[in-house]
Amino acid sequence: MTRPPADQSRAPWPGNVGQLDGCLRYAEAHSTGPQIEATDLPPSLLCQSQRPLSTWESTERDLIVQALLDHGGDKSKAARSLGISRATIYRKITAYGIRLGPESG
């Protein structure tokens, strides 16, 4: 397993071992190669929200992260696939603290 980017290595683990186990199982199921990459992690670990999110917000955040991953980080294509504007996806990326890589933001 490769070392995750710095922001993912500081993720809080309030669920302890059970939550960590769930994240690793998710990553294993979504990995396409022999190593787990940062993009294989659950969407919640690719974000740093400033406040607790509602179920609706968590679902929306996860859909945005998945659309970005599906389109190689291309925000315009991700927005189009979700049926939202580029301005909206940029606003939500900022609001949810979505970080897919060092160039993301």
- The 10s digit of each residue's pLDDT in 19-70 is 788 888 988 888 888 888 877 888 777 777 778 889 999 999 999 999 998 9
Q: For residue 79, tell me if it sits in a domain.
A: yes
What are the tokens at 73? 């980080």
Q: Is residue 44 part of a domain?
A: yes
| pLDDT class of 86 with cuts at 50, 70, 90 | very high
Q: What local confidence, expressed as pLDDT, does residue 68 receive?
A: 94
Q: Give how many domains the chain has, as a whole number.
A: 1
Structure tokens at 72: 């190689």
CATH number of the domain residue 74 falls in: 1.10.10
Residue 105 lies in a domain: no
For 49, the domain range is: 13-96
Residue 7 has pLDDT above 80, yes or no: no
Q: Is residue 65 part of a domain?
A: yes
Residue 101 belongs to some domain of the structure: no
| Helix 55-70, helix 75-82: angle, nearest 10 | 130
Q: What are the residues whose beta carbons fall under 8 Å from the beta carbon of 102, sequence distance 6 or more?
A: 5
Q: Is residue 92 in a domain?
A: yes
